[in-house]
Amino acid sequence: MSPFEFDDKKMQESDNGSVELKEQPTHQENPDYLGKIYADSNTNRQYDSPQRNISTYSPQNSWSYYAANKPPRKSSGAFKKIAAIVVGTVFTFGIFYLATLGAIDLVNDYLMADGASKTATASEQENKNESVPSLKIESTPDGTDIIHPNGQLTTKQIAAKLTPSVVGVATYSMDILKESEGTGIIMSEDGYIITNAHVIAGTRVNKIIITLHNGDEHEAKIIGRDSVTDLAVLKINAKGLVAAEFGDSDKLEVGETVVAIGNPGGIAFAGSVTQGIVSAINRVLGGSDNYTMKYIQTDAAINPGNSGGPLVNVYGQVIGINTAKIVSSGYEGMGFAIPISTAKPIIEDLVKHGYVRNRMKLGVTGEIITKEKSEIYGMPIGYRIFEITEESDLNNKGVRIYDIITRINGKEVTSMQVIYDELKKLSPGKTVKLDIYRNERGKVTTFTVNVAVYEDKGDQ
């Protein structure tokens, strides 16, 4: 091998400091890689390498010192050729010898180090195996065996306890067209069922079907319903049903865990269980046109179809009847249930009498004129009458539709609750004082009447 062939091998220093030899292409394969060999007319050879200067090629600069710094001698051309061949051959074999010894040492060092590392790793792992714990999976206990010391139940136990007492309620028109679906609670083993009045509302409804948790269906009849409180009681012809256990909602506190059970979306999702907490108590709901009640607020998911279903405490007791939720954009997790302590006297009256006793009414329907409406339409705040029933004493006092009741017993009528609060102080036949405003074609008159109230027997 000539010294000029050695020039075409590239010596590179690897990242770990060892020397790596890589075979380069021959001049024929890549004549432009390192440079071209040129010969002049005097046959003196020169080497032009655009990529690197031969004087800086060797890492040790030994070859560059010899090639660049050694003073030239005057000798014949033949002597120079022989000397160059000898020196190049000796130098080349020396480099290969040293490189071979270095590579052998590196390999031996690597093998020894790797063997030692493996031995140490195996030894360390063997020691670790003695102290590292293994993951142990225990068998799942039977849920029925878990009972909290103070009597609280797990969600699983609550669902198992209440599900047999929860039913589906579906209404039909013309006996075949389904109008609505909701949920009901079995109140007694002989077939009395509680639900929301709005679940069975509708002038076209002529058939109500109750679906038990086992899939059995029964036609129900209405015992009583009260649209004011949105409560209703149904009855099916069945015995031996599993009645729900009811708790005292007055003892509820904010933050307590509650469970809602019902049929969101209808019978297809019957028995759905959701869990949350009591977000608030005594939450007042109801617009100016409606009777206002105090509700339990919860973040347990309540959806259409859950209406009339139970809200249950951690003891498996029904403490509320799910009835509404806020569905406006931007609101989440705001459901409401009628407290069972509020519902109890209403339900008992519906069962015994078919309506809520000792609730008085004037015999009118209409709307509240709020402050905003008053300013827009130029009329006083009050209750504007749209309809007067035949039984109403207002017919005998000269009151007409579109008249506005501005005061009741001296109190400004700003909501229906003001009217309800005054009426519940009365008994049948007693009178109430009303201030009336009338505007007939721009002619305004005001007057006062004393009107006898009568008992509201609901939607019988």
307 given a catalytic annotation: yes
249 contacts 241 by C-beta, under 8 angstroms: no
Q: Which of 165, 180, 198, 349 is catalytic?
A: 198
Please tell me the distance from the alpha carbon of residue 363 to that of residue 289, in angstroms, as a whole number.
15
CA dihedral 127, 131, 135, 137 (to 10 degrees): 130
Alpha helices in 390-443 (DSSP H): 416-423
230 given a catalytic annotation: yes
- For residue 89, the Cα-to-chain-centroid distance in whole angstroms is 81
- If phi > 0 it is left, if psi is from -120 to 50 it is alpha, else beta; for residue 43 that is left
Token code pair at residue 143: 């849920």
Residues in the chain: 460
408 contacts 385 by C-beta, under 8 angstroms: no
C-alpha to C-alpha distances, 331 to 258, 338, 425, nearest whole angstrom: 20, 20, 37
CB neighbours (10 Å) of residue 239?
7
Please tell me the distance from the alpha carbon of residue 301 to that of residue 306, in angstroms, as a whole number.
9
Q: Which of 7, 226, 230, 456 is catalytic?
A: 230
Please tell me the distance from the alpha carbon of residue 174 to that of residue 271, in angstroms, as a whole number.
28
Beta bridge partner(s), residue 182: 169
What stretches of 348-399 adopt beta strand conformation (E)?
A: 360-361, 364-369, 382-388
Please tell me the distance from the alpha carbon of residue 22 to that of residue 25, in angstroms, as a whole number.
10
Instruction: Please list, in sequence order, all residues whose beta carbon lies within 8 angstroms of the beta carbon of residue 446, skipping any fewer than 6 positions away.
Output: 406, 435, 436, 437, 438
Please tell me the distance from the alpha carbon of residue 171 to that of residue 307, in angstroms, as a whole number.
13
Q: Which of 272, 279, 288, 307 is catalytic?
A: 307
Question: Which positions are catalytic?
Answer: 198, 230, 307
